[in-house]
Amino acid sequence: MHGPFGRPGARGGWGGGRGGWGGGRRMRRGDIRRAILTALADQPAHGYEVMRRLEEMSGGLWRPSPGSVYPHLQMLEDEGMVRSREDEGTRTFTLTEAGVAEAATEVGSPWRSEGENDSQIRTLRQSVGQLMSAAKQLSGAGETAQVERGIAVIQKARKELYQILAED
């Protein structure tokens, strides 16, 4: 499998699988189906609630898009695994008996692949978020010279990250 820059084995970029953090793969159709059924197992939900649950269940490693979730919800409804009802302008999905049975089958988490260190990816993601928060505060409260120093720090960090990737 090629990464974002055509290199075999390179991990994914911002737009890759698992929300773009590591992996570089897209979730397979069967995996998405299984994950949605699992997300609906406890209680009914509308599409965006399903997406929020999936992100939460994956520890933030996978952020499914509406373009991925809604067609699968429709497919599951067509197959009789879920049923929907309109409630105050919101379409809510509930598992049917067949959906409950399929959701109860034990299958591994689709966002987790053997050998991947999810804890490190999660920590990296949190660190980037903290850096962005600090940069935002600096841009709003910092003097011109402080903002310039902040830019230099971030540019140096970016170069060092690429240097890590270039190492053998």
Please, which pLDDT band fits residue 87 given cuts at 50, 70 and 90?
confident
Same domain, 73 and 98: yes
List, in sequence order, every residue forming a beta bridge with 13; answer none if it has no partner: none
Please, which pLDDT band fits residue 36 given cuts at 50, 70 and 90?
very high
Phi and psi for 73 in degrees, rounded to 5?
A: -60, -40
pLDDT in tens, 112-146: 554 456 677 778 878 888 899 999 999 999 999 99
Same domain, 91 and 150: no
Instruction: Please report the pLDDT score of residue 129 as a whole number.
Output: 82
Same domain, 92 and 39: yes
Instruction: Please report the pLDDT score of residue 136 as a whole number.
Output: 93
Same domain, 30 and 72: yes
Instruction: Please report the pLDDT score of residue 7 as a whole number.
Output: 37
Average pLDDT over residues 161-168: 85
Same domain, 29 and 69: yes
Sign of CA dihedral 99, 104, 110, 111: positive
Average pLDDT over residues 102-117: 65
Instruction: Give the residue from 72, 160, 59, 157 showing the smallest Cα distance to 116.
Output: 59
pLDDT over 90 (residue 48): yes
Same domain, 41 and 68: yes
User: Is the residue at 10 inside a domain?
Assistant: no
Same domain, 73 and 133: no
Measured distance CA(46)–CA(54) in Å, rounded? 12
Quickly list DSSP for 79-139: TTSEEEEEETTEEEEEE-HHHHHHHHS----TT--TT--HHHHHHHHHHHHHHHHHHHHHH
Please, which pLDDT band fits residue 15 given cuts at 50, 70 and 90?
very low
Residue for token digits 């988490």? Answer: 109
User: Is the residue at 158 inside a domain?
Assistant: yes
**Within a 10 A sphere around the Cβ of 25, how many other Cβ atoms?**
13
Of residues 60 and 94, more confidently modeled = 94
User: Is the residue at 75 inside a domain?
Assistant: yes
Same domain, 22 and 98: yes
- Residues of the domain holding 142: 118-166
Same domain, 90 and 128: no
Q: What is the mean pLDDT of the chain?
A: 79
Which residues 6+ apart lie within 8 Å of 56 measured at CB?
none
Instruction: Please report the pLDDT score of residue 95 as a whole number.
Output: 96
Please, which pLDDT band fits residue 30 given cuts at 50, 70 and 90?
low
Which residues 6+ apart lie within 8 Å of 79 measured at CB?
98
